[in-house]
Amino acid sequence: MASLQDIKRRISSTKNTRQITSAMQLVSTAKLSKIQNSSNGYHEYANRLKAVVGHLIEAHVLDNVDSAHLPMVAKRPIKKTGILIVTSDRGLVGSYNANIIKETNALMEKHNLNKDNTVILAIGGNGADFYKQRGFSIALEHRGISDVPTFNEIRQLLKTVISLYEAEAFDSLHLVYNHFVNRLESDQRNTQLLPLTKEALADSDDSHEEVASDFQIQAAYDSEPDSTAVLNVVLPQYIQSLVFEAVLDAKTAEHAASSTAMSSATDSADDLIATLDLQYNRARQAQITTEITEITGGLVALE
């Protein structure tokens, strides 16, 4: 049995750990509230942009565009597939990163992808490190996303993603990230970003018709100077909005996962402290009993 001094050290150490995890839980909860308040406005903008793109589909604007002048909609043989994954830079977020890697691996298995025909674009250090260690080509690695990301912060990153596609570094692009459901739950989503086909646009997470009807946008367009010029402006903004919205969503899920993980760690520390307290009291009681027995035995010997 451990000595009383050892048990006291463990109790003290566990209490210190509990203070840290409790503080981290409070910090993560505050960050979660902050990003939720901050991202509401952007979601409004993203929904309006989705409505516009949805009605471009309804108006058959994409049917007759010149793909030679619009690389984002051009279909070409898929020699390499790009996967843009959003993970965290650090740990202490429960299964947040493991779930993304599991979803990404499932996507690769479904499409028969491997390190020879796959290019990884990583937002967050965990995903970059995982696939780098397994020999995958990392076309883009971005670390240090702030707790409440701004569009300006990752504007160049989004331009780089589109430039890599236009330079044929990969021929299709999938986005994998954690979607925030509530403080205790998130789910994993993967979306085909490029090329922008009519089918891919129609099958996006939010129904374009539903979003468009919310804003009562009419599906009729007169284009100046022509449809290709309009789409050359709208579609890059659309891709950028999808990626940035996913980063916001993933960061929200990350703060929620961190808060939940730290809450669970704090509860575990409380349970361990209670167990150690009981163990200490029993050991102390046994020590006192032994001392009384020894004193009594000494008195009997003196009689």
pLDDT tens-digit profile of 53-70? Answer: 777 766 666 666 666 667
**Residue 208: pLDDT band by 50, 70, 90 thresholds?**
very low
Query: In this structure, is residue 52 part of a structural domain?
Result: yes
Decide if 193 contacts 170 (C-beta within 8 A).
no
Query: In this structure, is residue 20 part of a structural domain?
Result: no
The CATH number given to whatever domain includes residue 147 is 3.40.1380.10
Query: In this structure, is residue 31 part of a structural domain?
Result: yes
Q: Out of 89-93, 119-123, 158-162, 209-213, pick the least confident.
A: 209-213
Query: In this structure, is residue 104 part of a structural domain?
Result: yes
pLDDT at 203: 57
On the question of pLDDT at 251 being above 90, the answer is yes
On the question of pLDDT at 205 being above 50, the answer is no
Decide if 154 contacts 142 (C-beta within 8 A).
yes
Tell me whether strands 118-123 and 81-86 are parallel, antiparallel or unpaired. Answer: parallel
Measured distance CA(257)–CA(232) in Å, rounded: 38
Domain region containing 53: 26-260
Residues 231-248 have pLDDT tens digits of 777 788 888 888 998 999
Higher pLDDT, 4 or 178: 178
Measured distance CA(244)–CA(165) in Å, rounded: 17
> Does residue 95 sit in helix, strand or coil?
coil
pLDDT at 28: 92
Query: In this structure, is residue 2 part of a structural domain?
Result: no
Q: Out of 46-55, 111-120, 252-261, pick the least confident.
A: 46-55
Higher pLDDT, 16 or 302: 16
pLDDT at 211: 46
Measured distance CA(207)–CA(202) in Å, rounded: 7
Query: In this structure, is residue 231 part of a structural domain?
Result: yes
Residues 110-154 have pLDDT tens digits of 999 998 999 999 999 999 999 999 999 999 999 988 898 888 888
**Residue 99: pLDDT band by 50, 70, 90 thresholds?**
very high
Q: What is the mean pLDDT of the chain?
A: 83
For 64, the token pair is: 């007759």
pLDDT at 156: 86
What mean pLDDT comes out for the span 207-224?
A: 50
> Does residue 15 sit in helix, strand or coil?
helix
Query: In this structure, is residue 56 part of a structural domain?
Result: yes
Query: In this structure, is residue 105 part of a structural domain?
Result: yes
Provide the number of structural domains found in the chain.
1
Measured distance CA(240)–CA(173) in Å, rounded: 13
